DNA sequence: TTGTCTGTGCCATTATATGCAACAATTACT
DNA sequence: AGTAATTGTTGCATATAATGGCACAGACAA
C-alpha cells in the first residue's frame, strides 16, 4: 500500500492547529492577540479556542480570560513516547554516558530535515532541573547528530532533504551547500559529528547517529557542553564514548 | 473578565481531536479501523488523518499505510511543561526525596476530577527507564495525591467535583461516597493520603498536596511502591519525608 | 464619567466538510 | 495461481457548518 497523499484536506483543522501552535512561542495568549497575528476574525479565533478548551487542549485563566496550553497535549505526547522504543532502549545507556562524560547527553530523532530532541540525561554532578529541551527541534546542518545522520546518506538523499536554504543561527553556522559537503565528508571519516557553536553561541556538541539493522538512522546521541569544557582532547574522548555505546544500542534496535 | 463559555463551537474540530485521541489507546491505527470505531465515513476519516499528517501530528507507515502519532504533539507538550513552573521547582526536591525514600516519586497536578502525572523521579538504585507514566491520568478518589487534595477542600467543593460515580479499578477501590468522606477525614487528620492498592493491584502510594500561598492545591507529590515494600512503618516514614519537602516546595510556589 | 481595551454572542451567507460510490493496490484464502 | 476481501485513496454533488461582520458586556485606565 503506497502512500503519498500529504495534503491538507480540511482547511478548518489546519487553521485550528496553526492557532494552537501559536502557544508554543508564547503563553498566555488572548483572542485579540491571536486574531491579529493570524489575520483572522475574533469570533473565528474565539470559536477555535473555546473548542480546544472544551477538549482540554487549552486552559483559560478565569481572571484575565487569556488561554494557555492544556493537559490533553501532554497525554498525547505520552502515547507518542510510549510508541518510540528507541527511548526505552537508549535511556539506560545515556545514564552511563552522562556519568562517563560528566556532561549532558541528548537523544534525538530525525524527522524531515530536522532533529527532534526526545530525552536529556544530566550527570549526577549537574543537579539541573527537568529536560526542558525535550520536544525542541533543530535543523540538521547545524547540529552534531544532524551532521552524523546526513553523513551516512547518499548525496541524492541529502539533496532531496536539504531543499531549504541553510539558515544561519550563529556566525559559525555553515550556510554554503558546498562547504557543508566538505564538513560531512570529514564527519564520515572521523566517525562523529561536531557542532562548533553553530546553533548556539558558546555551546559545542559531539554526536553520532543510531541506525537500525537496515542501516537507516533512527536517532542520534549527542554530548553537549560549554565550549570551555570542550577541548580538542575532550571531543575525541566523547566521540569514543558515544561510538562505544552506539554499538551497544544498535544491537538492540 | 468572566469566562464560562466551555462549549464546543466547531464540531469538525471536536471530531478531529476525538479521532486523534484514538491513538492514545492504540497505535498504529488504520482509516477503516477508526471509521468503524467512531461511526464515520472512511473518506471523512481519511481527510482528517491526511490533514493531521501534513501538520506533523501523525505519521504514516509507508508500507502498511497505517498511522501513528507524530512529533508535533511532542513540541506542544514541551511548551506546556515549560509553562508549568511547579515542575521546575519540584523536580530538584524530588531527586532528594527519591534518594531518601529509595522509591519512585511522582509529581502530579489536579485537573478537573483527575490528577495528571507530570514527572517521575527514580532513585539511583532502580535503574529504570524514562518516565512512561508522565502524561497519564487517574481519578482522584483512588490516588494518594487525589485524596490529599480532596481532603483539603470543603464538602461543597468536593460535591461539585465528584459528580461522576466512583469507578472501581480494584477490589479495594472506595466506591461509596460516604465511605470516601470518612477516608478523607482520616486523610486530613494524619496529613497524608494513602492509596492502598485502590488503583492498581499490588501498588501502594503515599501522597501529599502542594498548595500555593492562597492555599489552593496546585499539585501533589507521591511515593509509590509494591505493597511488599510498603509496611505500616514505611508509610509513616514516607509521609514524614513528603511533608518535610512539601513545606520547602510550597515556600517557593 | 468616558474611552478603549478585553472576551463573548448572534445570525445570514457562503465556503467547506461530508456522504457515498467507485478505484487501485495489498493481503488472505482457496 | 486465481479469486475474494481487505486496505487506503480519489472525485464530486449536496447540505451542513464554519465564517465574517457587527454588536454587546465587563474590566481597566485616564
| CATH number of the CATH domain containing B240 | 3.30.450.40
Same domain, B51 and B105: no
Residue B3: inside a domain, yes or no?
no
* Last residue within a domain, chosen from A75, A108, A130: A75
Closest residue of B to A78, CA-based? Answer: B135
- Average pLDDT of chain A to the nearest whole number: 92
What's the longest Cα–Cα distance across chain A?
60
pLDDT of residue B4: 58
Q: For A105-127, write each residue's pLDDT tens digit.
A: 999 999 999 999 998 888 876 65
Q: Is it the case that residue A9 has pLDDT exceeding 70? A: yes
Name residue A107's beta-bridge partners.
A119, A221
Q: How far is CA A75 from CA A99, A157, B34, B41, B117, in A?
A: 31, 35, 19, 26, 9
List pLDDT tens digits, range A172-183: 999 999 999 999
CATH number of the domain to which B32 belongs: 1.10.10.10
Q: Which residues of A111-149 are buried (b: 16+ CB within 10 A; e: fewer)?
A: eeebbbbbbbbbbeeeeeebbebbbbbbbbbbbbbbbbb
Looking at the predicted structure, is the pLDDT value of residue A22 above 80?
yes
pLDDT given for residue B238 in this prediction: 98
Of B17, B54, B129, the CB nearest to A57: B17
Residues of B in contact with A14 (CB under 8 A): 51, 54-55
Confirm if A207 and A168 have CB atoms less than 8 A apart. Answer: no
Contact criterion met (CB < 8 Å) for B16 and A8: no
Distance CA B104, CA B205 (A): 10
Which residue spans within chain B are E strands per DSSP? 58-60, 67-69, 104-111, 114-121, 137-139, 193-196, 203-211, 217-226
Residue closest to D25 C1′ by Cα: B1
Gap between the Cα atoms of A78 and A71, Å rounded: 11
How confident is the model over A205-234, as a mean pLDDT?
95
Query: Does residue B6 belong to any structural domain of this protein?
Result: no
Specify the DSSP element, H or E, that contains A226: strand A217-226
Residue B96 shares a structural domain with residue B155: yes
Would you state the pLDDT for residue B5? 55
Give the span between the Cα atoms of B97 and B120, in whole angstroms: 11
Distances (CA, A) of A136 to A113, A147, B24, B71, B144: 14, 17, 22, 10, 33
Q: Which residues contact A79 (CB under 8 A, 6 or more apart)?
A: B23, B24, B27, B69, B135
Nearest CA in chain B to A80: B69
Mark whether B129 and B174 lie in a shared domain.
yes
Per-residue b/e over B133-146, b at no fewer than 16 CB within 10 Å?
A: bbbbbbbbbbbbbb
Contact B12 A7 (CB under 8 A): no
| Peptide bond preceding A135 in cis form (omega within 30 of 0) | no
Distance (Å) from the alpha carbon of B181 to chain A's nearest alpha carbon:
28
Which strands, in side-by-side order, build the sheet including A137-139?
Answer: A137-139, A114-121, A104-111, A217-226, A203-211, A193-196
Nucleotides of D under 7 A from a protein CB: 6-12, 17-23, 26-28
For position A124, what pLDDT does the model report? 73
For residue A110, is it within any domain? Answer: yes
Residue whose CA lies closest to nucleotide D7 C1': A1
**A68 within some domain:** yes
**Are A124 and A213 in the same domain?**
yes
Bridge partners (DSSP) of residue A127 are none
Specify whether B182 is located in the same domain as B221.
yes
B162, part of any domain:
yes
Residue B105 CB partners (closer than 8 Å, separation 6+):
B94, B97, B98, B120, B121, B221, B222, B223, B224
Same domain, A124 and A153: yes
- Quote the number of domains for chain A: 2
Is A106 strand, coil or helix? Answer: strand
Question: Where a domain ends, among A75, A98, A122?
Answer: A75
- For residue A199, give the 3-state DSSP assignment: coil
Q: What is the mean pLDDT of each run of 10 residues along chain B (253 residues)?
A: 72 94 93 92 93 94 92 92 87 92 95 92 64 80 98 93 94 97 98 97 96 92 95 97 97 91
Burial class (CB in 10 A: 0-12, 13-18, 19+), A104: buried
Whose CB is within 7 A of strand D? A 1, 3-5, 7, 12, 15, 40-44, 47-48, 63; B 1-2, 9-13, 30-33, 42-43, 46, 49-50, 60, 65-66
B18, burial (CB in 10 Å: exposed 0-12, middle 13-18, buried 19+):
middle
Q: What is the pLDDT, as a whole number, of residue B237?
A: 98
Structural domain containing residue B121? 84-252
Per-residue pLDDT of A49-88, as tens digits, reads 999 999 999 999 988 899 999 999 999 998 998 888 898 8
Q: Higher model confidence: residue B131 or residue A227?
A: A227
Q: Does one domain contain both B66 and B107?
A: no
- Residue A105 CA, chain-centre distance (Å), reads 13
Please tell me whether residues B34 and B137 are part of one structural domain.
Answer: no
Nearest-angstrom CA–CA distance, A12 and B215: 41
Task: Give the pLDDT score at A129.
Answer: 42
Q: Has residue B131 been placed in a domain?
A: yes
* Residue A32 forms part of a structural domain: yes
Residues 6+ apart with CB under 8 A from B226: B202, B203, B204
Within a domain: A140: yes
Contact B10 A12 (CB under 8 A): yes
pTM over 0.85: yes
User: Do B123 and B225 fall within a single domain?
Assistant: yes
Task: Determine the Cα–Cα distance for residues B243 and B138; give it in Å rounded to an integer.
Answer: 22
Quick one: which of A100, A96, A104, A198 has its CA closest to A147? A198
Contact A73 B80 (CB under 8 A): yes
SS3 A205: strand
Q: How far is the CA of B207 from the C1' of C5 (A)?
A: 44
Q: Which of B74, B93, B124 is the last residue of a domain?
A: B74
Whether the CB of A24 is less than 7 Å away from nucleic strand C comes out as no
Amino acid at each position: 500500500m503506497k502512500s503519498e497523499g500529504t495534503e491538507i484536506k480540511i482547511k478548518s483543522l489546519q487553521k485550528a492547529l496553526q492557532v494552537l501552535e501559536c502557544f508554543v512561542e508564547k503563553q498566555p495568549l488572548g483572542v485579540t492577540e491571536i486574531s491579529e497575528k493570524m489575520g483572522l476574525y475574533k469570533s473565528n479565533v474565539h470559536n477555535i479556542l473555546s473548542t480546544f478548551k472544551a477538549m482540554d487542549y487549552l486552559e483559560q485563566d478565569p481572571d484575565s480570560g487569556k488561554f494557555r496550553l492544556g493537559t490533553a497535549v501532554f497525554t498525547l505526547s505520552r502515547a507518542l513516547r510510549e510508541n518510540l522504543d528507541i527511548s526505552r532502549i537508549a535511556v539506560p545507556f545515556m545514564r552511563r554516558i552522562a556519568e562517563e562524560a560528566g556532561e549532558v547527553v541528548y537523544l534525538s530523532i530525525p524527522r524531515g530535515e530536522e532533529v527532534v530532541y526526545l530525552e536529556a540525561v544530566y550527570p549526577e554532578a549537574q543537579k539541573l532541573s527537568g529536560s526542558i529541551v525535550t520536544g525542541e527541534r533543530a535543523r540538521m546542518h547545524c547540529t552534531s547528530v544532524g551532521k552524523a545522520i546526513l553523513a551516512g546518506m547518499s548525496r541524492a538523499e541529502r539533496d532531496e532533504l536539504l531543499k531549504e536554504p541553510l539558515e544561519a543561527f550563529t556566525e559559525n553556522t555553515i550556510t554554503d551547500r558546498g562547504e557543508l559537503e566538505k564538513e560531512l565528508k570529514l564527519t564520515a571519516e572521523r566517525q562523529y559529528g561536531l557542532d562548533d557553536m553553530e546553533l548556539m553561541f558558546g555551546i559545542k556538541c559531539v554526536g553520532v547517529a543510531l541506525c537500525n539493522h537496515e542501516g537507516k538512522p533512527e536517532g542520534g546521541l549527542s554530548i553537549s557542553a560549554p565550549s570551555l569544557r570542550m577541548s580538542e582532547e575532550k571531543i575525541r574522548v566523547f566521540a569514543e564514548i558515544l561510538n562505544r555505546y552506539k554499538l551497544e544500542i544498535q544491537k538492540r534496535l
